[in-house]
Amino acid sequence: MRKILHIDMDAFFASVEQMDHPHLRGKPIIVGGKVNQRGVVATCSYEARAFGVRSAMPTSKAIRLCPKAIIVPPNFERYRELSLQIREIFHRYTPLVEPMSIDEAYLDVTENSKNQTSATIIAREIQEAIYKEVGLTCSVGVSFNKFLAKIASGQRKPAGITVIDQESFPEFIKTLPDEKFFGVGQATAKKLHQKKYRKNSYLIEGWHLFEEAIQAGATIETIFALIEHGEKLGTHPQTVFVAEEILLDLADSQTPQGIVAIVQKEEDQLPDLSQGKYLFLEDVQDPGNVGTMIRTADAAGFSGVIVSSKSADIYSLKTLRSMQGSHFHLPIYRMPVETFVEEAKQTNLPILATTLSQNSKDYRELARLEDFALVMGNEGQGISPFMADQADQLVHISMKGQAESLNVAIAAGILMFYLS
């Protein structure tokens, strides 16, 4: 079980100003821009917060709420100086420090340089060290993931410590308002339904794909899950617990099984086509077909799969569901048809392209090959004339009945297992 601290300095900028300028102590101060310059509140003291002043509020509105507030221009050089002192204190306990801004950070103290088993004791020691050495207070949340630790740090401000352990978190979560669960990365996650936003990461849903990602060592950026799965996800500090309606909105299926995650893409280098068995998909449009063929290539022990630039996106949720995690098991490449043919020709990799013509052979008549690329064409048009012309051998599956053709994924399965 991980032990995560979220340490949040209390009204950091304002507290620094009150510490450095004693005449400001106990008074409502606003750190930010001036009213006549259309300034905004960077932060404010607790005395000003009592009047309803909040960060990012226009200074003009803040003054209306608190007419006696004193506006102080920010001194970022001073804030950075003290922030570095505070981080040095963090590093006395663990190298696993993740600064979130100038005044807050996550610390993983599961294993720490003090050999202290109690995260709460560490939290208290850090609080005392910051107050003694820097002169400022902080609030600390202690839990088994980052999401809960961050919520906890805001519960007893200023200078408080709140612990949410596995026993207490189900009841604790019930006391939180709904807004605590909204807007935590969901906008980014929702965008990943669209291909144009899937440049560096993609969504997966369901426990099977999540477990496949973990086993493959994939980088999981954020996990969205129902609170009932909190114990199972205790070792994953990137978990965000959301309401069921939010999860349904993020997922593509009607039954997302209580979990959706953002996974970082790992782009494979272009393959060495000098040896191996490859499946090439030429402009296959249906995500279900693409995913099924990749899964079958995995099962048949192929070296990799290459999809043409105009084939369905392998990172769409429908394709991912069809692959069932096979993209974690074998490399998948994307390249134009012409590039694939050029690479295959340069490495003398035989191209076997599926089509029914006078020049094609029944697959059972083929000589056994150790290295080759099997090409499956578009669902409606089959392989392109260019591919038919460039292939070393055209291949077909003879029909015993009256059906004109097979589904491309079914045909690919027959051929891959025969040829492997």
Active site residue 128: no
Q: Which of 77, 81, 98, 104 is catalytic?
A: 104
Length of the chain: 420
3-state DSSP assignment of residue 405: coil
- Residue pair 43/18 in contact (Cβ under 8 Å)? The answer is no
Residue type, 153: S
Distance CA 303, CA 102 (A): 47
Distance CA 275, CA 344 (A): 10
Encoded tokens for 214: 């973990």
Encoded tokens for 84: 């570095």
Helices (H), 103-250: 119-133, 146-153, 169-174, 186-191, 207-216, 244-250
Closest-CA residue to 185 (of 260, 255, 105, 256): 260
Rounded to the nearest 10 degrees, the angle between the axes of helix 287-299 and helix 408-419 is 10
Distance CA 308, CA 335 (A): 5
Residues 6+ apart with CB under 8 A from 81: none
Residues with a catalytic annotation lie at 104
